[in-house]
């Protein structure tokens, strides 16, 4: 794959290195040429100085053959404009933009531009570690109908089948994080101590699902 990244800050440079390590070709765009110092000395990709919403700059970065485009600069407006340009003008299929303003993120999700709302995501993750009770939403689909929330479970569920938890809550377990690694549940999966459980829910289900999961199996 060829991936074009707009923004060579900490996120952009880390993303570029990770992609290159996986064997992909990478081009990085930034208006500040000094930003490319964040790239390691052996970086083999292309660096282009300029604005990521400038068509000529994008062409220099290989946007016309790009398989994916990531807009991760520090400006919401620049990110979304360049992301829409990559998708709508150059036909890049895989496009994502980092957005700080959660309200804007929801709007652009509905326009078909996947976004990562970094402030809300970080705040939610911090809240989860500081206040382990309750649940934290980590994903919401573009139609704002279905979300994935992390659901703490009562200790009595440990050793019970994941499918029993699903049947009791009426919600599907999307995935587990076990020993720091994401795991897809199978029909034989059992809840283990320390598991982080993430469930697919709609807004009208959240309270009931959380309540059942926090209750001993069979309790009320």
Spell out the residues 6+ positions from residue 122 whose beta carbon is closer than 8 angstroms to its own: none
Domain range annotation of the chain: 2-121, 132-213
Predicted confidence at residue 161, as pLDDT, reads: 95
CA–CA–CA angle 84, 58, 79 (5° rounding): 40
Question: Considering the domain 2-121, what is its CATH architecture?
Answer: 3-Layer(aba) Sandwich (3.40)
Q: CB count, 10 Å around CB of 141?
A: 11
Q: Which fold has domain 132-213?
A: Alpha-Beta Plaits (3.30.70)
Predicted confidence at residue 158, as pLDDT, reads: 93
Predicted confidence at residue 216, as pLDDT, reads: 86
Model-level pTM?
A: 0.60
Give 126's pLDDT tier (boundaries 50, 70, 90): low
């Amino acid at each position: 794959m060829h991936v074009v990244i707009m923004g060579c800050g900490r996120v952009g440079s880390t993303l570029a290195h990770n992609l290159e390590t996986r064997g992909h070709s990478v081009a990085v765009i930034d208006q500040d040429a000094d930003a490319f110092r964040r790239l390691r000395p052996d970086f083999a990709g292309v660096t282009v100085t300029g604005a990521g919403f400038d068509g000529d700059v994008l062409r220099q970065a290989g946007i016309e053959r790009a398989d994916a485009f990531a807009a991760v600069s520090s400006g919401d407006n620049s990110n979304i404009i360049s992301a829409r340009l990559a998708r709508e003008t150059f036909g890049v299929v895989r496009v994502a933009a980092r957005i700080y303003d959660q309200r804007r993120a929801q709007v652009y999700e509905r326009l078909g531009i996947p976004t990562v709302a970094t402030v809300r995501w970080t705040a939610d993750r911090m809240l989860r570690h500081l206040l382990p009770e309750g649940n934290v939403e980590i994903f919401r689909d573009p139609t704002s109908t279905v979300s994935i929330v992390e659901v703490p479970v009562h200790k009595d569920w440990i050793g019970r089948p994941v499918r029993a938890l699903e049947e009791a809550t009426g919600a599907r377990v999307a995935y587990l994080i076990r020993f720091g690694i994401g795991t897809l549940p199978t029909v034989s999966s059992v809840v283990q101590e320390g598991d982080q459980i993430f469930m697919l829910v709609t807004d009208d289900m959240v309270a009931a699902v959380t309540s059942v999961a926090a209750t001993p199996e069979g309790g009320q």
